[in-house]
Amino acid sequence: MHSARNMSAYDALGPYDGPQWPHVAPRSTFLIIAVMMGIVVFLAFFVNGMVIVVTIQYKRLRSPLNYILVNLAVANLLVTIFGSSISFFNNVIGYFVLGKAMCEFEGFMVSLTGIVGLWSLAILAFERYLVICKPMGDFRFQQRHAVLGCAFTWVWAFYGLLHLFLDGLRTSCGPNWYSGDSNNNSYIMALFTTCFVMPLSTIIFSYSSLLMSLRAVAAQQKESETTQRAEREVTRMVIAMVLAFLICWLPYAIFAMVVATNKVIVIQPTLASMPSYFSKTATVYNPIIYVFMNKQVGVQSAMLYVDHCKSQKVAGVGNYGPPDVLKLHFP
């Protein structure tokens, strides 16, 4: 509980006027979140930048199935630039030092690219379902299908943008969960359905179908250790993908629904800010799960290949390209 003195200072000090400690939370809370955001910023730039640079550098990696992975990496970088980096800076200072206009722009960009990222995961799952399970028969996944999938994520994301508001610690902006009017509640329900229930359902359906198809093949080839191992590896990957989505977006979904349906509830500012920071951490672990955990695109293989290229170049050997281990598609 805040003391009366702290509460009066809290009410008197505007969110853009100066440090919010100790009125909103202790200074240590802001600094801990700043450290966390600093780590996220560094790792997100590294892993997503690597995906984009390697894909641009090597034409062999520009297959249609990889477009959505690059789309995800671009969205993650934009979240990092306009969201995590600004959150890091603001938490070091203790308030949203860039002003209201920049707060609204930051909220707009983070909401836009965040929705692009989560729908990219759903489209990626559905693309794999189409290619591997072949529900449409002899369907050939081509460049135009990949471009349509990427375009869908950006067009759909604009649906999720409306009124933006400072979060609990007043160091970042996001959707306004607090207004309480019927239009805003309808908006939150629609956002919950289209940006959590629908993509999660698509991911679970697509990967469940993929697993059932793989298990059917494994059942016919019980003597094949390769097939059995592939089934186990894909199962672990699918579990990791679903859990990552839930870790990222379930806190946000629960928080939005609780606040929208119970306006009298009082949530501690630090706790109210946590869902936003959980979602920003996805810019690090999603690329690791979807790209670098793939045995074909391990970080170690990539780094070994970089060293190999350098040695070849020094030796004067030309015409080198990426080895097969750097193919990005799954499984």
At 40-83, the pLDDT tens digits run 999 999 999 988 888 888 777 778 878 888 999 999 999 999 99
With cut-offs at 50, 70 and 90, classify the pLDDT of residue 163. Answer: low
Residue 209, pLDDT > 60, answer yes
Number of neighbouring beta carbons within 10 Å of residue 280: 25
Q: What is the pTM of this model?
A: 0.82
CATH no. of 4-296: 1.20.1070.10
Q: What does the alpha-carbon distance between residue 100 and residue 92 come to, in Å, rounded to a whole number?
A: 18
Q: Which of 130, 256, 107 is nearest to 195 (CA)?
A: 256
Q: State residue 322's pLDDT score.
A: 37
Contacts of 273 (CB under 8 A, 6+ apart): 33, 167, 168, 169, 171, 172
pLDDT digits (tens, 9 = 90+) for 16-46: 888 888 888 899 999 999 999 999 999 999 9
Tokens of 284: 């690090």
Q: State residue 165's pLDDT score.
A: 72
Residue 293, pLDDT > 70, answer no
Tokens of 4: 């009366």
Q: Which of 231, 243, 158 is nearest to 200 (CA)?
A: 243
Burial class (CB in 10 A: 0-12, 13-18, 19+), 318: exposed
Q: Are 290 and 243 a contacting pair, CB within 8 Å?
A: no
Q: State residue 99's pLDDT score.
A: 87
Average pLDDT, the chain: 78
Residue 298, pLDDT > 80, answer no
